[in-house]
Amino acid sequence: MFGTSGIRGPVGRTVTADLALRIGRAVGCDSRTVVVGQDARLSGDVLTDAVSAGLRESGADVIRLGVVSTPTVARAVGWLGADAGIAVTGSHNPASDNGLKLWSSSGRAFDRAQTREIVHRLNRGDIERADWDAFGDERLSPGVSARHVDHLVSAFDPFDGLTVAFDLGNGTGRVSVDALHQLGATVNTLDGQYDGRFPARKSEPTAETLSALRQTVPALGADIGLAHDSDADRLVAVDETGTYVDGDSLLALFARDAVEPGDAVAVPVDTSLLVQDVVEDAGGSVAYTPVGDVNVAEAVAHPGFVFGGEQSGVWIWPDETLAPDGHYAALKLAELVTRTGPLSEQVASLGDTAYTTRRTSVETENADHAMDRIARDLYATYDDIDATDGLRVDTDDGWFLVRASGTEPLIRVTAEARDPDTADELFDEVCSLVEGVRIAA
């Protein structure tokens, strides 16, 4: 039921009002107060109503936040003294999808033990409904986005003279724009109005979907281009020349900025060797986790960790929050450019070592079945396989990873080597294997 980042899938099939009602009941059993927010998707109202009904039927009071970003939901749990939070969001998935992500009072997403208990509770039917006169109440709290802006403004020095182009993709990222503006930056927005159909571009911000932003930044003479997905837990960037900054480079920049000698950062197993090299050069160390912001958050909650992230655009500074906050990340990157100089120069400063990374996703109807067949073939060929998350094979010249997506019916394939030809060979080899399994299935 729960993938690497909550429940997510097609509305009407995987994600239904009945499911939202049941999740609300299960969370409400041991909660007094729960905050509930939603992204801008067209299905959000129905699913949020169902979640609220389930929570109140179990006796929990509900604080409705309205249409807000997922980081705002996560922070609001603590700000409003609630026991849990539920974000109704499909994150970077297509407009036809939606989902549910659960948050604890610490601002951290429910971990595996907590989600497992929710599933067991549903399977056992172990849900107590409140008496007719003990149903929970519902109230609105429409000011949390403004509170989020105020918090960010208080955490950063002014950005006077900075010009930003910001692609919101018709999602809920307005907090970033308002905070930058209040800090003195000149902000030009693209597709800043809510529209749950995401007509301007796909919700997931990538080099391909951000063509308008890449053209706008140099046309305006902006210092940086920034973009969120639909619920603003992700943040990606375009440098001042209009060049998309790949996720591993951005991860390395954030990590290098955060690390002092002896500090640690957490990254998933599909992260480029670039990050390890940069962090170790700064005197820090890297810990590898399964893919998913929940797993990164679990790691950075331990002492000694100063940062964690994923090349997908998820960034966590544990001293600030254990939730991926794309708004905070946007201001951190603006701060880095203001303090250190053009983003293109910072990326170049990561070093001249060539890291060639190839990534793709292969659609499949049954990812678990496909991974079983892929595992059989790989174990017949390679002796040393890391199964922390998916199947990772390290070779003399590079590595590759095959894993099932935790949020979509996809097999993710990554290959990396310092030599481009070697990276291509590894990538072609593993892609042929995955495609063969998919076709055979």
Catalytic residue ranges: 91
Look at residue 165 and give its three-state secondary structure.
Answer: strand
- Grouping H, G, I as helix, E, B as strand and the rest as coil, residue 239 is coil
- The token duo for 388 is 């922390």
Structure-token pair, residue 169: 């993709």
Residue 39: strand, helix, or coil: coil
The C-alpha atoms of residue 369 and residue 230 are separated, in whole angstroms, by 31
Burial degree of 326 (CB within 10 A; 0-12, 13-18, 19+) = buried
State the alpha helices, DSSP H only, in 143-194.
144-155, 174-182
Beta-sheet strands, E only, within 253-333 = 264-268, 285-289, 305-310, 314-316
Contact 328, 306 (CB under 8 A): no
Among 277, 158, 176, CA closest to 236: 176
Strands 138-140 and 61-67: parallel
Provide the Cα torsion 284, 396, 431, 409; round to 10°: -30
- In angstroms, the CA 284 to CA 351 distance is 17
Alpha carbons within 13 A on the beta-carbon side of 345: 8
Neighbours of 146 (CB within 10 A): 12
List the strands of the sheet with 235-238, edge to edge.
Answer: 186-190, 163-167, 224-228, 235-238, 244-245
Q: Which residues pair with 266 in a beta bridge?
A: 287, 308
Question: What b/e sequence results for 335-357 when a residue is b if at least 16 CB atoms lie within 10 Å of its CB, and e otherwise?
Answer: bbbbeeeebeebbeebeeeebbb
User: What are the strands of the beta sheet with 398-404, ordered from one edge?
Assistant: 356-363, 410-417, 398-404, 391-394, 385-386
Contact 20, 53 (CB under 8 A): no
